[in-house]
Amino acid sequence: MKARSTKAPRVRALIRAWVILATVLSCLGATPRRANHDEAKVAPYVLPDPLRLEDGRRVASAQGWERDRRPELLRLFESQVYGRFPPAPKIFRWRVVREEARAMDGLATRRDVVLDLPEPGSSEPSTPVLRFTVFIPNRVEQPVPAFVGVHLFDTSKPAPTPAVARDPDHTSFPENVGDEVGRSILRRGYALASLDTQELAPDSTNNYANGALRLLGLAPSAAGRADDAPGALGAWAWGLARSLDYFSTDRSVDSSAVVVIGHSRMGKAALWAGANDPRFAAIIANGSGCGGAALSKRDFGETVGIITHAFPHWFCPQFANFADHEERLPVDQHQLIALLAPRPVYLASAEKDSWADPKGEFLAAVHASPVFQILGTEGLPTSPEPALDQPIGTRLRYHLRRGRHDLTEVDWARFLGFAEAEVRHPAIARRLASHERLDAAAALRQSHTWFASRSAAVLATNVLSHQSSHGAWPKNTNTAAAPYTGDPAQRRGTFDNGATLGELRFLARFQRVTGDKPARAALQRGLHHILEAQYASGGWPQSYPPGSGYARHITFNDNTMVRILEFLREVPRSPDFAFLEPERLEECRAAFNRGIDCILQCQVRVEGVLTVWCAQHDAITFEPRPARSFEPVSLSGAESARVLHLLMDLKSDRPDIHQAIRAGAAWFARSALPDLYVVRSDDDVLVIAEPGAPPIWARFYDIPTNRPIFTGRDGVVRGSLAEIEHERRNGYAWYGTWGQDVARRFADWSVGR
């Protein structure tokens, strides 16, 4: 009896427990359909057309996409999948809480950065909402491109270390950048940043809103979550966008070359960040799977039902309504990829990662392609299907790696190659194109790999288009920045201001690396032009044909003559010009020697004493000549300095060259102007007496008195700067420190002579 009486309440308790459990389970939502891993069982599905507007019209142009379809799609992803994307905060504060110049054995500078926001209702940014660590490579040309991702490495360690999950709910989250990979990224010249999730949005169903979403007023209220309320993915993506705000203030990072990257759930976040923030230069999603790159309507691997059941806090509540009803979704993930176009996008999968549906990730790229194409970029063709370990595509790229769900060294090696070609090389080209003139010196500092890139080829094609029929290039133009679009017959060239020589140097390096034939032909024409332009007396006019104005004189002005000679000296010695025939190289040597003889002939003798040079000399008699009204016959304190540098560079044993150098240096020594100080104010130049001031030199000295002279547009020679008009006084380099370098170089040159 006893036994019976105790058994009944136990059964009742058990039944009660079942009822409670069943109720709880039904509140959590029905158990989703199990994942399909059999390709043969994938049911037919229909994907929405990325270019078709909700009203049925189809956009057919880049403009239609940008104006109508893109915003519409972005709204659909907000309302159906990820929730509203929070705007950038108005009140905030950045803090660099730790800075270490010699992190990772001196390889990188480490910065730990914190973003603070105000508590709701307050205007004082007091609460940390985002914390990340960035390693910036030392000893490389800055600013550098960067990779940024959420939880890429463990920021609590001194160097990139694979993080272990730091929140209790999901312990299996794999992070991927270890020390070796971290070092190789930094050695390649990229910064690497990893965002923490703790303050931003912990990866936990109970806690995810207890960070950015709470501070932004987007946390669930007592009434629950709105259908389009953002979840953790939205918060992570928002954090990534904020890191870009920071990078635009950090001078060591090129904020126009930041790649957002993520693996798995953070790959989903990277894609959503890239879709919302067009400032990301490229987007890489590795094994991002369901809710990332994989198509939702393709029933393979993880489903909307499974993911919203296991991770309800990642998405907006509306997404769960498509559990096991993916066919009702008005969007699919290929359209998320399309929102990244035309930027470089790399999607990667692993062969054994069927949970993430590798094929679905590939097909998303394929079906996003029409958008890339309409925006002028290549997409990916449907076939052939990607072979194992064979990346396909260019700007939109995909690979299927051997192995399982992970972000491995192999993946990183490919991502680095991709970033190099699609982000860094174009960034270099953009920078070179942004200078006012073609800056050949800056271009020649770039690697051969850059010269071999498509970006360099675009610049070279632009340069080629500007070459005049005579073989020269115009001055004060960045001929690499854009193609010449005017009348080809109107193209003019000059040697003034370094024009033509910069183009030749740029093209010479380019053809050396690429073997490009048009560049070689242009170089032949350009060299022929230089050689043809040389007078029998050995000098060069400012441009050729010389015309009848002052530009026909042998032009030392603005170092034209010296620049041409430096160039001709370089040609037979530089591997960039090794493709030229030996006879051509010999012609360059001979022209150079004639130029040096011409320099010696031009050196002005005043009352029997050798001095320096005028800015122009007669092409036949070698006598000094005037140019514009304010450039009279005179001795030049500016141009003569660079002539002397060239002569000293020769390290020649010729006595006539030694004599020229000694005479020139002596002239500089006796023509120094002591105790003067040139003050530049906002709107004028003043010369004031300043006892003890370092010596300066005037641009022009009178022949024969050797007094500094100043001339305005009226052509009247005067004895002080103050006497000429404001416009000329301020529009010309009348004084300089040119003789200081001459003295230094001369002291070295004289040693042992």
Which residues are near ligand GCU by CB under 6 A? 173, 264-265, 289-290, 302, 307, 355
What are the angstrom distances between the C-alpha of 29 and each of 48, 226, 330?
27, 17, 22
Shortest CB 56 distance to ligand GCU, Å? 33
Task: Output b/e per residue, 86-120; b: 16+ Cβ within 10 A.
Answer: beebeeeeeeeeeeeeebbeebbbbbbbbbbbbee
Smaller CB separation from ligand GCU, 116 or 302:
302
| Close Cβ partners of 359 (under 8 Å, ≥ 6 residues apart) | 39, 298, 300, 385
Q: Which lies closer to ligand GCU via its Cβ, residue 148 or residue 293?
A: 293
The nearest distance, CB 314 to ligand GCU, in angstroms, is: 8
Smallest distance from ligand GCU to CB 311, Å = 7
Q: What phi, psi does 550 have (nearest 5°)?
A: -60, -20
442: exposed, middle or buried (C-beta count within 10 Å: 0-12, 13-18, 19+)? middle
Identify which of residues 355 and 415 has a Cβ nearer to ligand GCU in the complex. Answer: 355
For residue 334, indicate whether it is catalytic.
no
3-class SS shares of the chain: helix, strand, coil, % to 5: 40, 15, 45
Q: Which is nearer to ligand GCU, 403 or 695 (CB)?
A: 403
Provide the residue type at 729 as one letter. Answer: R
For ligand GCU, give the closer residue by CB, 290 or 396. 290
Among 71, 406, 386, CA closest to 63? 71
Instruction: State how far the Cα of 686 lies from the Cα of 680, in Å rounded to an integer.
Output: 6
Q: Rounded to an integer, what distance in angstroms lies between the CA atom of residue 63 and that of residue 57?
A: 14
CB of 232 to ligand GCU, least distance (A): 11
Place of tokens 């033509």: 500
3-class SS of residue 108: strand
Q: Are 50 and 64 in contact (CB under 8 A)?
A: no
List the one residue out of 182, 271, 192, 258 whose CA is nearest residue 424.
258
Q: Is 264 a catalytic residue?
A: yes
Phi, psi of 143 (to 5 degrees): -80, 150
SS3 (DSSP) at 588? helix
- State the Cα–Cα distance between residues 179 and 158, nearest whole angstrom: 10
Of 646, 640, 691, the closest CA to residue 666 belongs to 640
Match 């906002």 to its residue by tokens.
Answer: 682
From the list 611, 596, 589, the residue with the least C-alpha distance to 539 is: 596
CB of 515 to ligand GCU, least distance (A): 46
Nearer to ligand GCU, 170 or 589 (CB): 170
Kindly state the smallest distance separating residue 174's Cβ from ligand GCU, in Å: 6
Q: Helix 738-750 and helix 655-671: axis angle, to 10°?
A: 140
The terminus-to-terminus CA distance of the chain in angstroms comes to 126
Q: How far apart are CA 167 and CA 200, in angstroms?
A: 13
Q: How far is the CB of 32 from ligand GCU (least distance, A)?
A: 12
Rounded distance between C-alpha atoms, residue 82 and residue 80, angstroms: 7
Q: What are phi and psi of 708, to 5 degrees?
A: -60, 140
Query: Which residue of the set 79, 184, 204, 405 is catalytic?
Result: 405
Place of tokens 């049911």: 43
C-alpha to C-alpha distance for 553 and 535, rounded to whole angstroms: 10
Q: Nearest distance from residue 76's CB to ligand GCU, in Å?
A: 21
- What secondary structure does DSSP assign to 206-246, as a single string? TTTTTTHHHHTT-S-BTTB--TT---HHHHHHHHHHHHHHH
Which residues fall within 8 angstroms of residue 453, CB to CB, at 6 or more apart? Answer: 421, 425, 429
Question: What distance in Å separates the CA atoms of residue 397 and residue 125, rounded to the nearest whole number?
Answer: 41
110 or 151: CB nearest ligand GCU: 151
- Identify which of residues 345 and 687 has a Cβ nearer to ligand GCU in the complex: 345
Q: Which is nearer to ligand GCU, 365 or 519 (CB)?
A: 365
Question: What is the amino acid identity at position 725?
Answer: E
Pairing of strands 697-698, 735-736: antiparallel
Report in angstroms how near the CB of residue 284 gets to ligand GCU at its nearest.
15
Q: How far is the CB of 28 from ligand GCU (least distance, A)?
A: 16
Nearer to ligand GCU, 289 or 312 (CB): 289
Q: Among residues 159 and 269, whose Cβ is nearest to ligand GCU?
A: 269
Contact in structure between 328 and 274 (CB atoms under 8 Å): no
Catalytic-labelled residue, pool 264, 354, 455, 537: 264
Q: Measured from the CB of residue 380, what is the shortest distance to ligand GCU in angstroms?
A: 22
Q: Which two tokens stand for residue 558?
A: 């603005």
Question: Nearer to ligand GCU by C-beta: 265 or 399?
Answer: 265
- The catalytic residues are 264, 405
